[in-house]
Structure 1
Amino acid sequence: MKIMVAVKRVVDYAVKIRVKPDKTGVVTQNVKMSMNPFCEIALEEALRIRESGLASEVVAVSIGPSQCVDTLRTGLAMGANRGIHVESTASLFPLSVAKIFRKLVEIEKPDLLILGKQAIDDDCNQTGQMVAGLLNWPQGTFASKVVLDKEKRVATVDREVDDGIETVRLNLPAVITTDLRLNQPRYATLPNIMKAKSKPIKKFTPEELNVEIKSDLEIVEVTEPPKRKAGVILSSVDELIDKLKNEANVI
């Protein structure tokens, strides 16, 4: 069984985001970048499946500029067998990314495609669902538990939904998107970081995959959220009720 995993390069979660002066986006120059946390969870789950003997190969895929190779090397240091880099300097939106993954799936023929449920830079939460639709594969989104039956070629996925946990059974090949409680990603050790330098990374371009990169979304303006007002310390419950009723108008 082969597992393909998406790993996206994003601004590190610990960095304080700054909006560009022209409000066209956020500042990324000279800013620390890292692997999207949900992608780390997706990769960790793939590695655990391989280590349990249910898969033979884990392929990490990153789409974007040349610096994405650093993100792929991190994934290889975590334990992925090899990487694929689709190099593009264009702005990538979920549908274009999904079309690229469809082409890669046709080339690599994985049995399972695992993605983070969303990226922390745009929070779109769309790519996994779109690629499942393009491939006509079953999908298990927001996964908090994954159990594979290799002989029956079935994946049982516990999904985190508004009402609690929903369990679905998917015939392989399938698409799974990972939620926070699925696992705790491992750290790359120094020996594995050194080994990752010799692991292969295959390169493609969207043109080679016959995928046209075009924007189906328009960013009108990026602004910072309004600053929160200072809190007020109240002396009694009666005063709180009075303010909720007469000032906030919520009761």
Structure 2
Amino acid sequence: SFDLKNKVILDPFCGSGTFLVVAFHKKVEAGENPDEAYESIIGFDINPLAVAIARSELVLAYLRRTQKSPRNPPHIYHTDTLAMWFGGETIGVSEMEQFFRLAKEFADMLVNFSVIKIEDVMQILHSLSFIENSISKALRFSFHGKHEKDLEIGYLRDLIFRHLISELAKFDDPILKYFLEHAKETNLAERLARLLIKYGGNSVWGLIIGSIYAPVMLSYFKPHVILTNPPWIPTTEYKATYAVRLKKRWQAT
């Protein structure tokens, strides 16, 4: 069988996470630390319910192995993998396209300024966990218990940005430092404030933004192994070239 120990595993069409959970157990059984095994598992799926189930299943697998809850949410994200890889698009919600563009700008910045080596995908995963957690906390604390009179763009923007600084500045991580600079230059806090005011305050926006940034960044910083059951596609367009394009796109083993 293929050795998964110390490998970053991606299932780009993970469904409810069956392959991810099996990969996690295989890694632990091969002697990998459960924390590292958990952090090195990545999943994408277009179905938000499947993503929620996959996240829960991986957390439960970790809990059964360690008798404790993981520190970070799983790296399982809601995204249209085929559209993103082959069409350069994200899930078709117009308001989310702005974040897709921002994610590409951020990934380009990390590469162009040599902030991190392309092969250091685990460092990217750790940083993505901090970013998702920090956005979730910033939005939750900024919105929770506020009166309607407080729901003003400038007020929420400043509150969100202060929370982001408070959460991220305490880590000695060059990626997070660049993310704070990126957030400032792109008015990320104001964009998030507008979403809060329009749709309501909910820390789920951390997962939503993470589900845009993570797939984009992981198209630059590639996993070691792709392990998946390809989706059924009602056309012959992808059948002959699917594996070739997949390998070329990610340059994975």
Query: Is the helix fraction higher in 1 or 2?
Result: 2
Query: Is the strand fraction higher in 1 or 2?
Result: 1
Normalized against structure 2, the TM-score is what?
0.30
Structure number with greater Rg is: 1
